[in-house]
């Protein structure tokens, strides 16, 4: 007797492949397994596999090349605008992308001379260093190292370690809004660790944005170095200041904005 699969089996195939594309298990440019392999993996017929692939194509996640196979489409290049108020989550949501972030590690220690100068601290004053990896639709976009003056934000490191967002800590200390003082952009090759986190070749350049954020009185509250996967982003510089009365809502100051 011939085994038949559920008429809804294609949805299972589509859902699983979508998740694998979003979380990077199937990376941009990678070829999908051939039909027989997918049929065996999901215990479905050829029709279900083809219907699932057609659904992925309709959503722009894959493309089929005649005589070659079906490949994961490269993610659309993110247009990231650097302005007085730059918020990672808001920029992605405005472009129909899903922002997310992962706390990698954090530590409290003496500020380096460079960090102390940017934050207006005495050399060696305590500062928090926070390392995060940020994603768009599950694809690594940037690796961010940020430093905060420990005296102003006591408990921030513990809040990160507990899985809370920085905006919660900032709000507790009366900081509902902040502005970018300045940004500097450069390019270089990534370190092996950076290339691994960003899931890109080590010989592919990255864009580096060094910035300083300040409260509304102009006092520095954070400095950071954000390393962007160079082929996944286009940085735009916006010279028009944001209206002071249009502060972002609390929902925009999420943990992925730090």
DSSP per-residue string spanning 142-174? EEEEEEEETTTSTTHHHHHHTT--HHHHHHHTT
The domain spanning residue 132 has which CATH number?
A: 3.40.1410.10
Among 84, 87, 83, 60, smallest CA distance to 72 is for 60
For 122-140, give one letter per residue: b (16+ CB within 10 A) or e: eeeeebbbbbbbbbbbbbb
The domain spanning residue 47 has which CATH number?
A: 1.10.10.10
**CA–CA separation, 194 and 201 (whole Å):** 10
pLDDT in tens, 121-140: 999 999 999 999 998 877 78
pLDDT in tens, 149-185: 999 998 888 888 777 666 677 777 788 888 889 999 9
Q: Do residues 93 and 218 share a domain?
A: yes
Q: For residue 31, give the DSSP letter.
A: B
Average pLDDT of the chain, as a whole number: 84
Q: Which residues pair with 110 in a beta bridge?
A: 126
Q: Which domain holds residue 129?
A: 78-257
Q: Do residues 139 and 58 share a domain?
A: no
Q: Do residues 142 and 253 share a domain?
A: yes
Q: Look at residues 55, 72, 89 and tell me which one is the last residue of a structural domain.
A: 72
- Residue 20 phi/psi, 5° resolution? -70, -30
- The token duo for 11 is 């949805």
The pLDDT assigned to 7 comes to 62
Q: Look at residues 72, 93, 110 and tell me which one is the last residue of a structural domain.
A: 72
Contact 223, 55 (CB under 8 A): no
Count of domains for the chain: 2
Angle at 101 between CA 118 and CA 237, to 5 degrees: 50
Q: Do residues 130 and 50 share a domain?
A: no
């Amino acid at each position: 007797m011939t085994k038949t699969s559920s008429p809804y089996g294609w949805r299972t195939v589509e859902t699983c492949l979508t998740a694998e594309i979003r979380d990077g298990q199937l990376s941009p440019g990678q070829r999908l397994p051939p039909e027989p392999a997918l049929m065996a993996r999901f215990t479905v017929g050829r029709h279900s596999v083809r219907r699932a692939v057609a659904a992925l194509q309709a959503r722009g996640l894959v493309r089929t090349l005649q005589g070659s196979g079906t490949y994961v489409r490269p993610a659309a290049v993110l247009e990231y605008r650097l302005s007085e108020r730059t918020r990672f989550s808001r920029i992605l949501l405005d472009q129909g992308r899903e922002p997310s972030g992962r706390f990698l590690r954090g530590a409290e220690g003496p500020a380096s001379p460079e960090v102390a100068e940017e934050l207006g601290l005495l050399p060696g004053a305590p500062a928090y260093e926070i390392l995060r990896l940020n994603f768009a639709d599950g694809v690594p976009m940037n690796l961010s190292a940020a430093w905060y003056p420990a005296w102003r934000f006591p408990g921030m490191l513990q809040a990160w370690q507990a899985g809370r967002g920085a905006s919660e800590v900032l709000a507790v200390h009366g900081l509902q809004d902040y502005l970018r003082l300045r940004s500097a952009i450069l390019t270089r090759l990534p370190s092996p660790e950076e290339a691994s986190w960003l899931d890109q070749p080590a010989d592919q350049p990255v864009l580096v944005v060094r910035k300083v954020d300040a409260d509304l009185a102009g006092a520095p509250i954070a400095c950071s170095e954000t390393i962007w996967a160079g082929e996944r982003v286009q940085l735009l510089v916006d010279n028009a200041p944001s209206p002071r009365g249009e502060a972002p809502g609390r929902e925009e100051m999420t943990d992925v904005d730090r």
